[in-house]
Amino acid sequence: MSRLSTSHMNHSAVNQSDVCQEYSCPERSVSLSVYVILYAAAAAVSLLTVFGNLLVIISVSHFKQLHTPANILILSLAVSDLLVGLFVMPFHLSWLIEACWISGPVMCSVFSFVTFQVPTVSVHTVALIAVDRFLALSSPFLYSEKISPTVICIATLFNWLFSLLYNFTLLYVNNFTDVMCPGECIYVLDEISSLVDLIVVFLMPCTLIIILYTHVFVIAKKHATAIRALQIHNRTESSKNRVSDKSERKAAFALGILVFVFILCLLPYYIFSLTNFLKNDSFSNVINSVSVLFYLNSSINPLIYALLYPWFKKSVKIILTFKVLNTDSSLMNVLSLSS
């Protein structure tokens, strides 16, 4: 993410030549064969991230059965994860392998903007997922009447536009200083901008996520207990209502795992930001290593969908066997358990 606060530098004003004195490209310390293995592993992770999230994007976009509010939010998260696989992972992993930025200042600017944009979109999308699940379980009638795919599309579009405007302001207007050292790609924010960024991108959305998902699991547990009690006293309860409620709870559980893994991957980076732990010359190397965990979340998400969503496995099978090219394939039933 490469968001470096001047508070970490122990001075209020940043002088580019002073900062650049701290960085230099080291000589390669391992053999060529090790470099080949490292680059092969980096390429494999990037390609799997791109491939997995492309499958999610095609599945949700193509099959009309999957055009639900929750799946539209998954689609938005997959687009964000795709950007990580295309524009962030290849350059970031190369940076780690070489211990030096070798892609030049132009790609540094592109890389840095995407690394600011992606966390903002992703965190706020996960917050929207928490809101969606909370409303679906706490107010099912209101949810079915008011929360349509169109409403979620508008919320998602607003999320992306807000993130673009916010990061543009953060990078180019709000007391921003860029540091383009030879062999480095670092952006330095002043203390106020860093504090605002910490609140907007981490503290506010993550607090909302934790509070809402705590309520979601409490509500889901109460629903499960109430349904069992009702079934004991009233065997005539409609099968449709039981299936619908069970489906909502399963969706909440699956998305809860997605949210938990996301927070787990994001937390280390922001723990360093909160504690101002990194105050020495190794800041760049350590923060780059910690950031990898967050980027790897983009690779993990499609695996979570594959493990927890039968519709995703069925969609992938249709896509990979090219049945998706058939006429009216968008109307195929991907929600049934039968093949």
**128 vs 281: CA distance, rounded Å:** 38
Count the neighbouring beta carbons within 10 Å of the beta carbon of residue 2: 20
Confidence at 8, pLDDT banded by 50, 70, 90: very low
Residue 12 has pLDDT above 50, yes or no: no
CA-CA-CA-CA dihedral for 311, 314, 317, 323, to nearest 10: -100
SS3 of 335, please? Answer: coil
- The model's pLDDT over 116-154, given as tens digits with 9 standing for 90+, comes to 899 999 999 999 999 999 998 888 899 999 999 999 999
Q: Do the Cβ atoms of 298 and 86 come closer than 8 Å? A: no
pLDDT of residue 294: 87
Residue 305 has pLDDT above 80, yes or no: yes
SS3 of 3, please? Answer: strand
pLDDT of residue 11: 32
Q: DSSP secondary structure string, 322-333?
A: TGGGSTTGGGS-
In the chain, beta strands by DSSP E = 3-5, 176-179, 186-189
- The least confident of 24-38, 71-85, 129-143, 293-307 is 24-38
Which carries the bigger pLDDT value, residue 295 or residue 30? 295
CATH 1.10.510.10 is right for the domain spanning 3-9+32-331: no
Residue 13 has pLDDT above 80, yes or no: no
Whole-structure pTM value: 0.84
Count the neighbouring beta carbons within 10 Å of the beta carbon of residue 247: 12
SS3 of 5, please? Answer: strand
Name the one residue in this structure whose structure tokens are 């107010």: 139
Residue 238 has pLDDT above 60, yes or no: no
As a whole number of Å, the CA-based R_g of the chain is 23
Distances from the Cα of 293 to the Cα of 124, 197, 282, 307, 336, angstroms: 18, 20, 18, 20, 35
pLDDT of residue 39: 94
Instruction: Give the chain's mean pLDDT.
Output: 81
- The model's pLDDT over 56-108, given as tens digits with 9 standing for 90+, comes to 999 999 999 999 999 999 999 999 999 999 999 999 999 888 888 888 888 88
Percent of the chain with pLDDT over 70: 76
